[in-house]
Structure 1
């Protein structure tokens, strides 16, 4: 280095060692400056790396928080859907039970009309049969068909039909003056009336327990009569 510096200054005044020393000092200062810059750059890189690590950690935390929020939202939605299914089941069961209770009352009124006509000897022109009463429409073409796979539904048809047919037969025999036929038909009607009431009770029970609820969501109707 000394030789190179001497050759660089051989044609300059003053020449010799002072100029070389000056250049060495200048070179040392420049090297020190470069060292400081290098330290600064290394420090900046370290800061950037640290900041990048912090950003990545924040991104991971954000992603985890979003995933947890999505999972929580999914659970809430599932709970709401479960509650909606419960409400639908309760409403449906209440509607079905009310309909079948109304059918009981309707047939009690129908039977009372039969006795009223027999006692008054005033016969109405039309009495609905088992297909056209409210229960018959519910059974054959209405919401009742959803229970057609159940034994309670299938066993309801015979006593219901017998109830109506026996009552109408009693009126027919009364018009004909056949007292024996009238009494026999009334006995069949009463027998069918009892069987019909039992079948309606069974169907109401079937409606309540039609769709078993999960263990974590017991039915609010589980203890219903």
Structure 2
């Protein structure tokens, strides 16, 4: 009986122990179910975050398309400004030719004026000479008239003298004939001198008119030259404005190019497009402009321009290296190269903005 009582006690203890263990297991199960529920909730949240992340990437790509649109618009604007600058350069050449033509016209007007002055001086000398000849002819006519009068008086005295004055009468008659011929010749000379004087006056009037016209041409040429000079100055200013605007527009396009290029790198990493080739720093728009284009020709002596090369090269090399690391599954290395890419890209933008500050209106 004692054994039976002890057995019952032992069974009761075992049952209590089992109950305690069941309670413990139940508590652990409840804890595990709670933890499992929390894990499921967390997993759902992660899945939701992943979904949101995909949506964010999708939005980012759509934003990249907008950047592309802006970039192409800016590139077209820069190209238009560059073409306008070329057209203005042609117009500047035309103005230069016009200026040269006006210079030649002004020079010819000056020569005409000088020749007219010389002709006027010669005409004045000729006029004085003609008047001198006219006065001389008048003196000759006066002498002729006096000679004729003396011959007439001599003939009268010879007639009074009779036969003794015949020889003197013959001489007086010859003197009278000579005086008559002299008078006739002097009249002819006087007529010629009058014609010379008349023609000289006409020449003087024509020369004076030509001289006045030459002075008008010279004055008009100077006025036109002043207008052309003003237009050329404004054209030069417009060329400078367009040059700066074209450069600024192009460099702003380049900054957008960098944003689009980096966006493309991130897109390839996200979509695991590791086999597509990424261009080198000499092949992009900035590289061509820098090494062989307008920038190389006009800004290679600028320190800001030269500062672009190193970080620009680093951007492309780091982007390519990040894609290579991503393809190999090395996330840490990929992130390191992406960080270098972003840092170098910022340096490129700073150098570009510094160059834009140097290129002033």
TM-score after normalising by structure 1 = 0.68
Q: 1:91 to 1:124 in 2, by over 3 A?
A: farther
Output one character per residue of 1:26-60: Cα deviation in whole Å (capped at 9) or x when no partner. Answer: x9xxx9xx99xx7x999887766655544443333
**Which range moves more in the overlay, 152-161 or 175-184?**
175-184
Distance apart, 1:87 and its partner CA: 3.4
Q: 2:302 aligns with which of 131, 146, 150?
A: 150
Contact 1:117 1:124 in 2 (8 A): no
Q: 1:175 aligns with which of 327, 343, 352?
A: 327
- How do 1:142-221 and structure 2 match up within 5 A? 142-146=293-297, 147-206=299-358, 208-209=359-360
Q: 1:193 to 1:8 in 2, by over 3 A?
A: farther
Q: 1:101 aligns with which of 252, 261, 268?
A: 252
| Residue 80 (str. 1) matches residue 236 (str. 2) | no
Q: 1:83 to 1:150 in 2, by over 3 A?
A: same
Higher percent of residues as helix: 2
Q: 1:45 to 1:142 in 2, by over 3 A?
A: closer
Q: 1:57 to 1:8 in 2, by over 3 A?
A: farther
| Residue 66 (str. 1) matches residue 220 (str. 2) | no
Count of residue pairs brought into register by the alignment: 189
Contact 1:117 1:123 in 2 (8 A): yes
Distance 2:325 2:159 in 1: 146
Unmatched 5+ residue regions in structure 2?
A: 1-149, 164-178
Distance apart, 1:112 and its partner CA: 0.8
Output one character per residue of 1:199-221: Cα deviation in whole Å (capped at 9) or x when no partner. Answer: 12222333x33xxxxxxxxxxxx
1:113 corresponds in structure 2 to 264
Q: 1:8 to 1:142 in 2, by over 3 A?
A: farther
Task: Name the larger-Rg structure.
Answer: 2
Contact 2:274 2:324 in 1 (8 A): no
- How do 1:37-48 and structure 2 match up within 5 A? none
Distance apart, 1:73 and its partner CA: 2.8
2:282 counterpart SS class: coil
Output one character per residue of 1:68-94: Cα deviation in whole Å (capped at 9) or x when no partner. Answer: 222223333333333333333333333
| Residue 139 (str. 1) matches residue 290 (str. 2) | yes
Output one character per residue of 1:180-208: Cα deviation in whole Å (capped at 9) or x when no partner. Answer: 222221111111111111112222333x3
Distance apart, 1:124 and its partner CA: 4.4
Output one character per residue of 1:154-179: Cα deviation in whole Å (capped at 9) or x when no partner. Answer: 11101111111111111112122222
